[in-house]
Amino acid sequence: MDGTTTRPAPQARIRSWWGWGWADEHPADAECVAMGALLPGTLARPLPVPDVRDLVRGRRLGAPAVQPPAALAHLLTADPADRAAHAMGKAYRDVARALRGQPGRIPDLVARPTGEQDVADLLDWAGGHGTAVVPYGGGSSVTGGVEYRGDTHRAVLSLDLTAMRRVLEVDTEGRAARIQAGALGPDLEAQLRPHGLTLRHFPQSFEFSTLGGWLATRAGGHYATGPTRIDGFVQSMRVVTPVGTSGSWRLPSSGAGPSPDRLFLGSEGALGVITEAWMRLRERPRHKASAAVSFTDFHAALRAVRDLAQSDLSPANCRLLDAGEAALSGAAHDGSCVLVLGFESAHEPVGGSLARALDLARSHGGRHDADTGPAPDRGPDGTPGGDAAVGAWRAAFLRMPYLRDGLVRMGAVAETFETAATWDRVPALIDAVRTEVGAAALKATGHPATVNCRLTHVYPDGAAPYFTVLAAGRPDDGVALWDDLKAVAAEVLHRYRATITHHHAVGRDHRPGYDLQRPEPFALALRAAKDALDPRGILNPGVLVG
């Protein structure tokens, strides 16, 4: 559709059941063809947008294997489109399978609890009926986190938390709020805005992911430096498990034993269902400044980023795009790498910090066009501003998943993956991923592939490289091709002792890498905890343990 068309109001918009985000944001056929033309070896025409009715006709979507009890019937639906939309997440392999009419196992029922007791009742019922329960927030998992892949359960229930979407209490003095787990990003922020507060957690999936999903997957946020992972903003949580509900106290900090919340943060629905949390908030930033710096030498840019992360300047944004990524996002067209820098504060002017950061970047060979100058920033929440390169990057950032789906319709493999490693490993790790994944794609398809890298988060002791792979597909086995490429990538990550995931979570796709990464005694402890909390093994089976 034309980008200038007036879009319907959000409540009237339709979410895509097979691809990313809003159905009306998907690139039209002509745009898919134009994109495909840039990548050798793709199809001449896009695969058609799939139709749920074909799944019913093709008997991939039949009658549910269990009948909802009358007492819970008002929370449950067996609607085919609803069930299909809850079958998978939004990874390349999910979109590719949907386009080919081969989705994963479709849940028998979708439940939409309206409160904690509903969740407990649903778990009780499922436990007594051999039914696996897959907690579902915004459904934006790119690692198979919301897709049942086992065969040992009689039925599968997708537990959609999005009806539990309210900000229940706000403590303005202490800058915190009690928020239900099913609140999607924009809805959550809209409810906080009248209080002058913000969670300011802006993953790329912001529009299509929930607080509960962020907590369950330990999501990485907006801030490129400093505390950014959602973990650090949790004051307390409530989690419904099959053996009872866990509620931690609302505390600014405690040293009483291992943190209860930290066991459930990252538990990906395998230990319990997160129903609400008190979250630490911020005042909305009033001071912002951003700039883009270009570098000829990627390794020099890496050193600049490391120095910035180790300075006391604390940029809110410090994302480095390699030349390919900068070109793809329109941030540069001359083969430069681009460093996107941003500072923000509710109380303190930040122009001085940006100026010092630019000096530091220049000392590593960075170039910043002084005529453009630092300019106010524009955030996903609509605050004003915009340095041109920064704005181009951000618009592309939010558009990328839609374009990815367009490329998949052209038969391409288009996917991302991410990791984190200490600085001593980062340069060689990035080079190895580029080289080895690129070579594997060339060998498998006969066409050169694109393997770009950006740093999404940086730390004083390391960074989180994020890779984009664009490759010609193979007719009818694009998923297998991607699985092969991902295995090559995972092997490189393991060799460099880089994490299998920085913020995409483990899900089911990352289980082999996760099992290699986690210490065996911890795995024993986690399995024991799982058995204690979920004795019937109904919670998101196959995730993390079991």
Please report how close the Cβ of residue 89 comes to a copy of itself at its closest, in angstroms. Answer: 15
CB 242 within 8 A of CB 539: yes
Q: How far is residue 367's CA from residue 362's CA, in Å, rounded to a whole number?
A: 6
Tell me the residue length of the chain: 546
Ramachandran bin of 320, using left for φ above 0, alpha for ψ from -120 to 50, beta for the remaining angles = beta
E strands along 7-162, which residues? 76-77, 109-111, 131-136, 155-160
Please report how close the Cβ of residue 525 comes to a copy of itself at its closest, in angstroms. Answer: 4
Would you say 111 or 506 has its CB closer to a copy of itself?
506
Return the closest-CA partner of residue 179 out of 171, 190, 167. 167
Please report how close the Cβ of residue 122 comes to a copy of itself at its closest, in angstroms. Answer: 17
Exposure string for 374-407, b = 16+ CB within 10 A, e = fewer: bbebbbbbeeeeebebbbbbbebbbebbbbbbbb
Would you say 360 or 392 has its CB closer to a copy of itself?
360
Q: How far is residue 121's CA from residue 135's CA, in Å, rounded to a whole number?
A: 14
Please report how close the Cβ of residue 120 comes to a copy of itself at its closest, in angstroms. Answer: 12
Would you say 8 or 244 has its CB closer to a copy of itself?
244
Would you say 298 or 402 has its CB closer to a copy of itself?
298
Which residues lie below 8 Å from residue 354, measured CB to CB, with a gap of 6+?
Answer: 289, 290, 291, 315, 341, 343, 374
Q: How far is residue 272's CA from residue 215's CA, in Å, rounded to a whole number?
A: 12
CB 305 within 8 A of CB 339: yes
Would you say 331 or 492 has its CB closer to a copy of itself?
492
Please report how close the Cβ of residue 282 comes to a copy of itself at its closest, in angstroms. Answer: 8
CA-based R_g, the chain, Å: 23
Would you say 409 or 504 has its CB closer to a copy of itself?
504
Exposure string for 197-227, b = 16+ CB within 10 A, e = fewer: bbbbbbbbbbbbbbbbbbbbbbbbbbbbbee
Please report how close the Cβ of residue 392 comes to a copy of itself at its closest, in angstroms. Answer: 27
Would you say 186 or 247 has its CB closer to a copy of itself?
247
Please report how close the Cβ of residue 75 comes to a copy of itself at its closest, in angstroms. Answer: 23
Please report how close the Cβ of residue 304 comes to a copy of itself at its closest, in angstroms. Answer: 14
Please report how close the Cβ of residue 445 comes to a copy of itself at its closest, in angstroms. Answer: 30
Would you say 42 or 314 has its CB closer to a copy of itself?
314
Please report how close the Cβ of residue 110 comes to a copy of itself at its closest, in angstroms. Answer: 26
Q: How far is residue 33's CA from residue 29's CA, in Å, rounded to a whole number?
A: 6
Neighbours of 335 (CB within 10 A): 11
Please report how close the Cβ of residue 285 comes to a copy of itself at its closest, in angstroms. Answer: 9
Q: Is the dihedral of CA 200, 205, 208, 211 positive or negative?
A: negative
Would you say 27 or 266 has its CB closer to a copy of itself?
266
Pairing state between β 109-111 and 155-160: parallel
| 380: DSSP letter | T
Would you say 346 or 388 has its CB closer to a copy of itself?
346
| 472: DSSP letter | -
Lookup: tokens for 173: 């003095």
Which residues lie below 8 Å from residue 234, measured CB to CB, with a gap of 6+?
Answer: 215, 261, 265, 277, 278, 279, 280
Would you say 238 or 404 has its CB closer to a copy of itself?
238
